[in-house]
Chain A
Amino acid sequence: MHAARNIALCTKDCVCLFVCPTGATDTENGQIDFSKCISGCRLCVDACPSHAIYLVPSTYPKPQKKEAEVQDALFKLAESKVSQETIAKDLASGSDDPVFRQLCKTVAMSNHIMAEDCYREAGYILPQSDAVRSLLTNLLEKEKEKVAFPVEAVRKLLEKL
């Protein structure tokens, strides 16, 4: 369990630099150096006056089982959102009117986000879960022959998750 900084909340009080025993909080990119952070130490978390530092769990509880009917209904909704995203994208690319293209792009973005949220609640909230591993394994099996398919990326994901 290591500390992470929410840049949007950080008010640069720099107390974390003062309390950190390893210098993990002192970095150029504004984030905490996870490799130096002592697991569960939390000195910076408790000291931060702007509540901008929190602990990221290294392991999560198993996600709750999703009922098949709920999952099916959410997948069906996601399918509809993605098909609306597709129509909107095609309408945008088929038009040379900047205002209409802006509208279609907006509709596409909104539908994409709604589809993501359906999948999230359909049992794909946690990347390091059996559901995701099984999905990646299946995709790799099905698509590994295709030239453009990023085989290495999927193998690395299966290794790391």
Chain B
Amino acid sequence: MTRRLRVEEEMREMTYGELAAMCTNLQKACTKQMRSEEAQLFGVLASYYEQGRENSEERTYQDLLKAINEDLESGYREANAQASAYKDRGSLRALVWGEKVSKLLKSLLMRYDKQKNTLLENTNVYVCEICGFVYVGEQPPSLCPICKVPSFKIQAVQKEAV
């Protein structure tokens, strides 16, 4: 395999939705460094991209399942192969978390498909704000089972009427 280093970052083609996620990532990074002004500025940029984000083209619940299956069947395998070949520990870490979260999301989506609203009716739903782990139940676990962050980083998602 030829080893290629990206010498200078050329501008990648990114959608507004992707740029929104990039900017909230940088916003969080600034918060961690106690750079609150920079965090706020990245927040402004993130909302610009969030507001301008494209709609999906008539896509359905089944399309969601299809996309997550593609990640699990090929996306993670390919990324893992590259990250292992280059012994990139940081990337391998992100891929381990992401693959576990994706498997859980897939099973949640499939369960909802069968049980519909009874799945979530008399319980709470939580998301770990560090790794994206989703938990359905009364109380979130005291540590996130995937990234091991304490539960104060695991947020409840509210039911909202229109």
A residues with CB within 8 A of B:
4, 8, 31, 34, 56, 65-88, 90-91, 96-103, 105-107, 109-127, 130-132, 134-135, 138-139, 142, 148-150, 153-154, 156-157, 160-161
Hey, which chain B residues are within 8 Å of A88, CB to CB?
A: 64
Hey, which chain B residues are within 8 Å of A112, CB to CB?
A: 21, 24, 132
Hey, which chain B residues are within 8 Å of A98, CB to CB?
A: 159-162
- Interface positions, chain B 113-162, Cβ under 8 Å from A, are 117, 120-121, 125, 127-134, 150, 152, 157-162
Inter-subunit contact B33/A65 (CB<8 Å): no
Q: Which of B8, B64, B76 has the most chain A CB atoms inside 10 A of its CB?
A: B64
A8 to B149, CA, bound (A): 13
Inter-subunit contact B157/A70 (CB<8 Å): no
A132 to B45, CA, bound (A): 13
Hey, which chain A residues are within 8 Å of B21, CB to CB?
A: 78, 81-82, 85, 112, 115-116, 119
Inter-subunit contact B158/A102 (CB<8 Å): yes
Q: Is the interface of A mostly helix, strand, loop or mixed?
A: helix
Hey, which chain B residues are within 8 Å of A142, CB to CB?
A: 11
Hey, which chain A residues are within 8 Å of B130, CB to CB?
A: 113
A124 to B55, CA, bound (A): 26
Inter-subunit contact A110/B94 (CB<8 Å): no
Inter-subunit contact A150/B48 (CB<8 Å): yes
A91 to B62, CA, bound (A): 11
A118's partner among B6, B98, B121, B129 (CB-CB below 8 A) is B98
Contact status of A114 and B98, CB under 8 A, knowing A73-B78, A77-B75, A157-B38: yes
Hey, which chain A residues are within 8 Å of B94, CB to CB?
A: 74, 117-118, 120-121
